[in-house]
Amino acid sequence: MLLLIIAVAGISGMASAYPLTEHSAYPTQTGNAPNETVYIENGFSGTVTIKDTQRNVITFTNVDYKASGSGSGLIITPNGYIITAFHVVSDPIALDRNQTMRKIEDKDTKWYVEREALKDYINKNPQLGYKLLKNRPKSIRRDLKSDENIDYLTKIFIKNKWISAGSYQYTIYVKGLALNRNHENPLKARIVDIGNYKSDEDIALLKIDPKVKNLPVFTINSKYQEINENLRIYGYPGDNIETLENKSLHKNESIASSSIYTPSYVSGLLTAKTPNPQGIMYYQTNAITTGGYSGGPIVDNNNRVLGILIYGLYDENRFKKDASNKGTKKEINDGSLFLPSNYIIKICKKNKIPINVF
């Protein structure tokens, strides 16, 4: 689970929020969800040349596709436009370590591929890694495979031109029951547009690249929402994904390649309307969500979309007072925050994408 923690203005007590994109074992009520709900996964692949000056060898290696993040989304047009949370497809390390959202640029993709190739090479040749880390504190270099050390070694190799990616690719995959009718394998998608993420307008518009048509779509509810309204949140919770990982025949296989994976749901009430300090409106619900639900649709009793899930909530005071708690803040989930449907309508209108609006 990513550890981006932000203060949420307007919520009683001391509450904090975190994005729900990765795997978590938090229990969740599950059941079947509409076919318009999709699973979204992104990752990197490429080819890399590594020069080992210690052994005086040059190695050419393929970096097979490696998933770096996952979440959920919803189909909004028959030809494959999809809405999700931006942080689902944003730079995973920036989100995880720096607690910020940022777009993945071409140079970032190259760096990820080179880093992954070097990590594998150092794992097979640990003495090279330890030698290059000899000037670092012993407490740090002891764990050769730590993110900090791999980042440090990648920086050294790039600076000395000992590593170079000949090809590199960032790929977004989409999988869902609606797509399985004609496609056995996951489809690729691209980012069309994103919201103003610097103000925490956490939304992205995707488009499936292959030609698709006649997909089922959600209707977007544009009406004013009442407090205590019933709702459901659809998505792909991380505990189910972990189960599929354990069943995978190939260790590096994309989770999206599983044809048996279907979405789930949790239920709750709309409990508050909470603008952030930048004026972006969020809605609060008491529905308990877990990793993987981010970007998934929140729907009313008529299955019309009220918004998309962004954050899980926890009470910081309760966490501090619970002396018996030996887990993490994420295991004391107090509800969720979602971005309301007017932001979906806004980004579609900006890009002239016709959608069903009620």
CA torsion through residues 357, 229, 314, 24, sign: negative
Sequence-separated (6 or more) residues with CB below 8 Å from residue 89: 40, 42, 69, 71, 104, 172, 191, 204, 206
Burial class of residue 12 (count of CB atoms within 10 Å of its CB; 0-12, 13-18, 19+) = exposed
Per-residue model confidence as pLDDT tens digits over 55-110:
899 999 999 998 888 899 999 999 999 999 999 998 887 776 766 788 889 999 99
Which residue's structure tokens are 């000037």?
A: 135
pLDDT score at 2: 31
The distance from CA 67 to its chain's CA centroid, rounded to whole angstroms, is 10
More confident residue, 58 or 20: 58
Per-residue model confidence as pLDDT tens digits over 285-303:
998 888 789 999 999 999 9
More confident residue, 345 or 328: 345
Q: Is residue 333 part of a domain?
A: yes
Position 25 confidence tier, pLDDT thresholds 50, 70, 90: very low
Other CB atoms within a 10 A radius of the CB of residue 285 amount to 26
In whole angstroms, what is the distance from residue 32 CA to residue 235 CA?
A: 10
In whole angstroms, what is the distance from residue 244 CA to residue 151 CA?
A: 30
Q: Is residue 357 part of a domain?
A: no
Domain boundaries, position 69: 6-350
Per-residue model confidence as pLDDT tens digits over 136-171:
888 887 889 898 999 999 999 999 999 999 999 999
Q: Is residue 1 part of a domain?
A: no
pLDDT at 327 over 70: no
Following CA atoms 115, 209, 19, 201 in sequence, which dihedral angle do they give, to the nearest 10 degrees?
120
Q: Is residue 355 part of a domain?
A: no
State both tokens at 173.
Answer: 């995959």
The domain that holds 231 is classified in CATH as: 2.40.10.120
What would the mean pLDDT of 336-351 be, rounded to a whole number?
95
> What is each CA distance from 258 to 13, 97, 244, in whole angstroms?
42, 30, 8
Task: Please tell me what DSSP assigns to residue 250.
Answer: S
Helix, strand, or coil (residue 216): coil
CA torsion through residues 76, 80, 83, 84, sign: positive
Per-residue model confidence as pLDDT tens digits over 170-194:
999 998 888 864 445 788 999 999 9
**69-81 per-residue burial string, b: 16 or more CB within 10 A, e: under 16:** bbbbbbbbbeebb
Other CB atoms within a 10 A radius of the CB of residue 19 amount to 31
Q: Is residue 83 part of a domain?
A: yes
Residue type, 202: D
Q: Is residue 137 part of a domain?
A: yes
State both tokens at 126.
Answer: 């640990």
Domains in the chain, number: 1
- Categorise residue 56: left if φ over 0, alpha if ψ from -120 to 50, beta otherwise: left
Q: What is the mean pLDDT of the chain?
A: 80
Q: Is residue 174 part of a domain?
A: yes
Q: Output phi, psi for 178, to 5 deg.
A: -65, -30
In whole angstroms, what is the distance from residue 229 CA to residue 222 CA?
A: 15
Q: Is residue 271 part of a domain?
A: yes
pLDDT at 317 over 50: yes
Following CA atoms 274, 275, 280, 282 in sequence, which dihedral angle do they give, to the nearest 10 degrees?
0
pTM attached to this predicted model: 0.81
Q: Which of 308, 285, 348, 307 is nearest to 222 (CA)?
A: 307
pLDDT score at 211: 84
Helix, strand, or coil (residue 337): strand
> What is each CA distance from 358 to 36, 57, 69, 221, 305, in whole angstroms?
17, 64, 32, 5, 9
Provide the β-strand partners of residue 267.
Answer: 232
**115-146 per-residue burial string, b: 16 or more CB within 10 A, e: under 16:** bbbbbbbbeebeebbeebbeeeeeeebeebee
Q: Are strands 6-7 and 15-19 parallel, antiparallel or unpaired?
A: antiparallel
